[in-house]
Amino acid sequence: MGFRRGRHAATTSWPAINRQHEHLAALHAAIQARRELVVSLVSQHGVSWVNIARYGDPRRTVDVVYDYRNGDWWFTSIADGARIARAWNVTGCVQAIIWDLGRS
Cα–Cα distance measured from residue 21 to residue 104, given in angstroms and rounded to the nearest whole number = 29
Q: Is residue 12 part of a domain?
A: no
pLDDT digits (tens, 9 = 90+) for 23-78: 899 999 999 999 999 999 998 888 889 999 998 877 889 999 999 988 899 999 99
Q: Is residue 6 part of a domain?
A: no
Q: Which residue has the higher pLDDT, 92 or 47?
A: 92
What is the number of domains present in the chain? 1
Q: Is residue 58 part of a domain?
A: yes
Of 78, 74, 97, residue with least CA distance to 86:
74
Q: Is residue 7 part of a domain?
A: no
Q: What is the pLDDT of residue 63?
A: 95
Phi, psi of 96 (to 5 degrees): -65, -35
Q: What is the pLDDT of residue 79?
A: 92
Q: Is residue 8 part of a domain?
A: no
Q: What is the pLDDT of residue 70?
A: 85
* Signed CA dihedral, 82, 42, 96, 16: sign only: negative
Q: Which residue has the higher pLDDT, 90 or 103?
A: 90
Q: What is the pLDDT of residue 1?
A: 36
Q: Is residue 39 part of a domain?
A: yes
Q: Is residue 15 part of a domain?
A: no
Please state, as a whole number, how many other Cβ atoms lie within 10 Å of the Cβ of residue 94. 22
Strands 47-54 and 83-86, by their bridges, are: unpaired
Range of the domain at 69: 21-102
Q: Is residue 51 part of a domain?
A: yes
pTM for the model: 0.77
Q: Which residue has the higher pLDDT, 5 or 24?
A: 24
Please state, as a whole number, how many other Cβ atoms lie within 10 Å of the Cβ of residue 23. 19
